[in-house]
Chains A and B, each alone.
Chain A
């Protein structure tokens, strides 16, 4: 069954978000550019076989996640990527953290911590906390259960908690309260 919308619509609707996702889980803009292009080329090849009711966004995240995992599979490559983090994250995002002086230091530290997370935790964390995907979708992307996906995010947050130890953070009251509600609809 061919996808309902022309593929251009899919690119228009999702490219920016998929790129940002990949930019966050990789360490270089060049990698994110390449992986985002690969994601959509792969999606284009498979698009006509996609069911009409498919969740295109979650599907694209799954492709992007899969490609990232393949990309990082080589340990060596990964080490090189890590070494590049400190230099590149600063120059690659000119309109990024420095503009928000108040959050600046904590955010830079958080970003560095996220970059240093084991891959599955990093992917799960970014999908959940930055892109708000549900755990079912994250689990499908990572070939694991929704429970495992949740555990990855938990482990990621614990590490972030440890790494931010001793740093003063802006008080919690200043952020979107809806995100902090105790009961979150699933």
Chain B
């Protein structure tokens, strides 16, 4: 077989591109010029044009419809599965230490103080079976900013959609929902939550459920204390954190660590009554009644927002507590 002349070899890529509709303008002009005077390359050019004709037919050919539909159906089902398992998370610094925030397609599923480390390995998330974890940026950043505002006292609500699937049982979920309903600046007890969910004898089980609260701060378990006013526990032995969170909401505690108690004399009291009246802590023996039946409130504004009216005997409207 004869070797192609150098000029023909050199122009070959442009010739192929040109014949198959893929050449840049300058190249196309060079090819046109070349095949005017080169029979062999002109034949090549036409051969490639014929090939391009078959290639175009390839492009028009339908794929096998049945298998495409099957692939799509398979995808939809795998996507649904992935969506339900995908949890994105990020670890942030905060005034309360490093915090991990995680969310699924349903909502925020975990807020966790990372006591034992600084990354995912220290999180209970790394031990949850069946989830696919993904470190995420922007979406969780927004949650984090809102959380910081909350911790600074610049925001009183975290209106996040919640995903309670990391709670351990339906009982735990019921406890978390009842706890989520306790408003900013109010305090009740484990026994109070137990009564609220229709299990008045289950105060200890309520405390256990809140010990495993996957969403501290957002589900405000820091607003749940002992009937006597003792802060009891928080996130292991971090009663100090509980004290800090309550202080942001205007609820002061006295005493140190395990002994610390809510200062009832600085809070308004509401003992459920038909008149919806709230009282000063000095009204009768109200300050000695157990928390739970009695709800403690940081401010008169909160009492008003809850639809309560000042007690006609002790008149908290006339004698406000010192802020």
Contact = CB atoms under 8 A, between A and B. Distances in A.
Interface residues of B, number: 51
B70 interface: yes
Interface in A6-56: 7, 11, 15-16, 19-20, 23, 29, 32-33, 36-37, 40-41, 44-45, 48-49
Interface of B: 13, 16-25, 28, 31-32, 46-59, 61-65, 67-68, 70-72, 74-76, 78-79, 82-83, 86, 134, 136-139
A160 B51 contact: yes
Nearest to A129: B55
Contact of A172 (B24, B53, B68, B72): B53
Given A48-B138, A172-B46, A33 B64 contact: no
Contacts of A153: 22
Contacts of B58: 107, 110-111, 114, 129-130
Contacts of B61: 93, 96-97, 107
A20 B63 contact: yes
Nearest to B76: A11
Nearest to A128: B22
A33 B246 CA distance: 55
Contacts of B70: 33
A110 B67 contact: no
A8 to B, nearest CB: 9
B76 to A, nearest CB: 8
17 contacts: A11-B72, A19-B63, A23-B68, A32-B71, A33-B67, A36-B71, A37-B75, A40-B79, A49-B137, A92-B64, A93-B61, A95-B64, A103-B57, A106-B54, A110-B55, A154-B13, A175-B56
A84 interface: no
A74 to B, nearest CB: 23
A135 to B, nearest CB: 9
Contacts of B67: 23, 29, 32-33, 92
